[in-house]
């Protein structure tokens, strides 16, 4: 998977646990995801890699005031297998996140 990621994207994935809770970081990642999604020749590997790196922190990101926007964007552009992974890790906290002010939007 990493063979297709640029160095910059690899860097983002490594730092995602910090960036996902930061306003500028979230904006930057959303913009990148949008650009990639608009490019028809893109394989969606960046979105898939991001989901993979965030699996452990997804419920926390969803309830974050900035992170919930990133999650909404990811859900919009990520390939189906990544969405399945995402649902699986969020399943046990879906009720709790639904009742959260920010989480409700991501769910």
- Site residues, other proteins (CB under 8 A): 75-76, 80, 83-84, 87-88, 91-92, 94-95, 98-101, 103-104, 107
Provide, rounded to whole angstroms, the least separation between the CB of residue 62 and other proteins: 12
Question: Would you put residue 70 in left (φ > 0), alpha (ψ -120 to 50) or beta?
Answer: alpha
Q: Which is nearer to other proteins, 66 or 82 (CB)?
A: 82
All residues at 6 or more sequence positions from 101 whose CB lies less than 8 Å from its CB, including other chains: none
Cβ–Cβ < 8 Å for 61, 71: yes
Can you tell me the distance from the alpha carbon of 52 to that of 78, in angstroms, rounded to the nearest whole number?
11
Find the shortest distance in angstroms from Cβ 65 to other proteins. Answer: 14
The first and second tokens of residue 8, run together, are: 């910059």
Nearer to other proteins, 9 or 82 (CB): 82
Residue 22 vs 72, nearer CB to other proteins: 72
Shortest CB 42 distance to other proteins, Å: 17
């Amino acid at each position: 998977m990493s063979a297709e990621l640029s160095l910059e994207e690899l860097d983002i994935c490594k730092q995602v646990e910090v960036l996902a809770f930061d306003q500028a970081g979230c904006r930057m990642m959303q913009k990148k995801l949008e650009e990639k999604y608009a490019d028809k020749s893109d394989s969606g590997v960046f979105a898939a890699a991001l989901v993979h790196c965030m699996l452990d922190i997804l419920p926390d990101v969803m309830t974050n005031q900035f992170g919930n926007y990133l999650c909404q964007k990811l859900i919009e552009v990520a390939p189906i297998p990544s969405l399945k992974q995402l649902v699986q890790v969020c399943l046990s906290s879906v009720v709790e996140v639904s009742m959260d002010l920010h989480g409700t939007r991501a769910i």
